[in-house]
């Protein structure tokens, strides 16, 4: 994708990876819109990035997704990049009493919402790029976040099909982060992992080279692993 003069929607752009991407895209002279559930987080992001445009929106709610699309079509009809970044991660076990409820929320936010946004935003004539944020866990599951890994494997698979079916119209890029230091899954869980800024620098360099599958650190190995390597990773990650 070209890295400048785009109008970009980044879902979940007030924190973590989404915020890192927003900051970097703004530095490259792009117009960036971010959305999320917490108005306070969006306000804090806008204090740091004065040009950013914000929209409160709960992507787990179908009506909110439609409202977001209609608002963009009306006010930002020249939007050309959709970044499906928002996601949640639930640490859970099949024996938990609220397993099903947590799974439902995760599948809605991590799968149904980006699928619906992809369908809605592909109606915009200006849309030329979709970026889906998947995970190294799409390739090798961590059993403590069993449904999360499944949602990312789904999005990995869907992204391959989407790239193929839209190839003459829309460029489809997959960002495949390994564990990074964000608040995903709860504060502190990811503290020991590499920084978002190192990840963002690396994926920007890869986009500049025209790559469409963007890996970093251990996700590079996992994304091209054979069954034997996957089994070895699984045993290391799930002692
Ligand atoms: N950090 C990692 O280790 C890692 C590794 C691989 C992949 N990823 C992926 O990277 C993406 C970003 O995660 P992150 O690590 O940056 O965590 P994060 O800081 O928790 O960011 C997630 C963002 O999604 C938003 N969000 C969650 N549910 C939403 C909803 N229903 N509606 C609207 N926005 C919603 C959150 O905002 P609100 O809470 O305000 O709604 C938040 O800004 C996710 O897809 C995640 O799966 C992360």
Helices within 108-192 (DSSP H only):
113-121, 146-165
Q: Which atom of ligand 1 is nearest to the CA of 193?
A: 3
Ligand 1 centroid to 152 CA: how many Å?
12
Report the catalytic residues: 148
Pocket test for ligand 1, best of 34, 38, 144, 182 (most atoms within 8 A of CB): 182
Q: What is the pLDDT of residues 119-174, one digit of tens each?
A: 999 999 999 999 999 999 999 999 999 999 999 999 999 999 999 999 989 999 99
Q: Contact at 8 Å (CB) between 31 and 53?
A: yes
Ligand 1 centroid to 231 CA: how many Å?
27
Q: What's the angle, vertex CA 85, arms to CA 71 and CA 203, rounded to 5?
A: 125
**Cβ of residue 38 lying under 6 Å from some atom of ligand 1:** yes
Share of the chain above pLDDT 90, in %: 99
How do the domains of the chain map onto residue ranges? 7-237
**Cβ of residue 114 lying under 6 Å from some atom of ligand 1:** no
pTM of the model: 0.98
- In the three-class reduction of DSSP (H, G, I as helix; E, B as strand; rest coil), residue 8 is classed as strand
For domain 7-237, the CATH architecture is 3-Layer(aba) Sandwich (3.40)
Mean pLDDT confidence for 39-64: 98
Q: Which of 15, 12, 16, 42 is nearest to 193 (CA)?
A: 16
Residue nearest to atom 5 of ligand 1 (CA): 179
The whole-angstrom separation of Cα 150 and Cα 115 is 15
């Amino acid at each position: 994708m070209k890295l400048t003069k785009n109008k970009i929607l980044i879902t979940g752009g007030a924190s973590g990876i989404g915020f890192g991407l927003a900051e970097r895209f703004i530095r490259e002279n792009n117009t960036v819109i971010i959305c999320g559930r917490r108005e306070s987080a969006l306000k804090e992001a806008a204090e740091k990035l004065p040009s950013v445009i914000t929209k409160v929106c709960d992507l787990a709610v179908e009506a909110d997704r439609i409202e977001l699309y209609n608002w963009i079509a009306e006010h930002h009809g020249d939007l050309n990049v959709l970044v499906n970044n928002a996601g949640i991660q639930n640490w859970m076990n099949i024996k938990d009493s609220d397993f099903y409820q947590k799974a439902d929320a995760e599948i809605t936010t991590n799968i149904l919402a980006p699928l619906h946004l992809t369908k809605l935003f592909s109606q915009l004539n200006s849309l030329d790029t979709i970026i889906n944020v998947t995970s190294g866990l799409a390739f090798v599951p961590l059993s403590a976040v069993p449904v999360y890994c499944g949602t990312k494997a789904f999005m990995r698979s869907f992204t391959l099909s989407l790239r193929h079916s839209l190839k003459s119209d829309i460029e489809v890029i997959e960002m495949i982060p390994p564990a990074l230091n964000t608040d995903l899954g709860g504060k502190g869980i990811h503290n020991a992992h590499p920084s978002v800024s190192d990840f963002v620098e690396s994926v920007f360099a890869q986009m500049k080279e025209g790559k469409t599958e963007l890996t970093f650190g251990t996700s590079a190995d996992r994304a091209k692993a054979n069954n034997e390597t996957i089994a070895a990773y699984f045993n290391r990650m799930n002692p």
